[in-house]
């Protein structure tokens, strides 16, 4: 085989290797990402409304964060009613309930076990005052 032909074959081989590397890289990056849904523990918090006000919304937040997630309720929690909220998280999480007056209640729960949070008329309310 001539020198020129060897260089051409070598060039084609390098080009093919680069194309294969480009094609395989996205597949490898997807495979390397852990499935966080599979490793996050799931817990249930049952919110019991023993107050004289309807609970209209429930939000979740990291304990150190003031940004809340989406409303966890499809309907409110009536006076005397309760609602179970399932959540996936690691460690502790802040649960925020908003009553019919727009006031908020806060509770920190552990994701390591199911819990019950009872809101009554003596529970501290944050009405923005």
Looking at residue 94, which CATH number applies to its domain? 2.60.40.2890
Q: pTM, whole model, 2 decimals?
A: 0.66
48 and 12 inside one domain = no
Domain extent, residue 15, equals: 3-33
91 and 64 inside one domain = yes
Q: Does residue 128 belong to any structural domain of this protein?
A: no
What's residue 21's pLDDT? 65
Non-local (6+) Cβ contacts of 41 within 8 A are: 88, 89, 90, 111, 112
What's residue 38's pLDDT? 47
By residue count, the chain amounts to 129
What's residue 4's pLDDT? 73
Helix (H, G, I), strand (E, B) or coil at 70: coil
- Number of domains, the chain: 2
14 and 69 inside one domain = no
What's residue 88's pLDDT? 78
29 and 44 inside one domain = no
Q: Does residue 126 belong to any structural domain of this protein?
A: no
18 and 56 inside one domain = no
87 and 44 inside one domain = yes
Mean pLDDT of successive 10-residue stretches along the chain, which has 129 residues: 69 66 60 46 90 95 89 94 87 91 93 91 91
What's residue 24's pLDDT? 63
Cβ contact 101:123 at 8 Å: no
Non-local (6+) Cβ contacts of 80 within 8 A are: 49, 50
Q: Which CA distances in Å does 113 have to 13, 39, 49, 85, 105? A: 57, 15, 20, 13, 21
What's residue 1's pLDDT? 65
The runs of H, that is alpha helices, within 33-119 are 36-39
């Amino acid at each position: 085989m001539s020198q020129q032909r060897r260089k051409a074959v070598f060039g084609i081989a390098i080009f093919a290797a680069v194309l294969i590397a480009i094609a395989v890289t996205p597949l490898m990056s997807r495979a390397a990402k852990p499935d966080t849904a599979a490793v996050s523990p799931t817990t249930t918090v049952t919110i019991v409304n023993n107050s004289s006000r309807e609970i209209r919304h429930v939000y979740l937040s990291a304990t150190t964060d003031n940004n809340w997630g989406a409303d966890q309720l499809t309907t409110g929690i009536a006076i005397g009613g309760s609602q179970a909220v399932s959540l996936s998280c690691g460690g502790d999480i802040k649960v925020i309930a908003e009553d019919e007056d727009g006031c908020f209640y806060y509770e920190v729960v552990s994701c390591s076990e199911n819990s019950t949070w009872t809101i009554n008329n003596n529970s501290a309310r944050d009405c923005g005052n």
